[in-house]
Copies of this chain bind each other. A is one copy, B any other.
Amino acid sequence: MIGRLNHVAIAVKDIAKASATYRDTLGATVSAATPQPDHGVTVVFVELPNTKIEFLEPLGADSPIAKFLEKNPDGGIHHVCYEVDDIIVARDKLKAEGARVLGSGEPKIGAHGKPVLFLHPKDFFGTLVELEQA
Which A residues contact B (CB, under 8 angstroms)?
1-5, 8, 10, 12, 17-18, 21, 24-28, 48-51, 53, 55, 72-77, 80, 82, 93-94, 97, 99, 121-127
B126 touches A72 (CB 8 A): yes
Work out how many copies of this chain go into the complex.
2
Told that A5-B50, A21-B124 touch, could you supply 4 new A-B pairs with CB distance under 8 A?
Answer: A4-B49, A8-B8, A48-B82, A55-B125
Contacting residues, chain B, for A124 (C-beta < 8 A): 21
Q: What are the residues of chain B within 8 A of A127 when measuring CB–CB?
A: 10, 75-77
Chain B residues near A76 (CB-CB < 8 A): 125-127
Contact between chains at B126 and A48 (CB < 8 Å): no
Q: Contacts A25-B99, A51-B51, A97-B25 hold; do A126 and B74 have CB atoms under 8 A apart?
A: yes
Other-chain residue from B5, B12, B25, B123 in contact with A8 (beta carbon distance below 8 A): B5
Question: Could you say which of A1, A5, A27 has the most chain B C-beta atoms within 10 Å of its C-beta?
Answer: A5
B-chain residues with CB within 8 Å of residue A122 when the two chains form the complex? 74
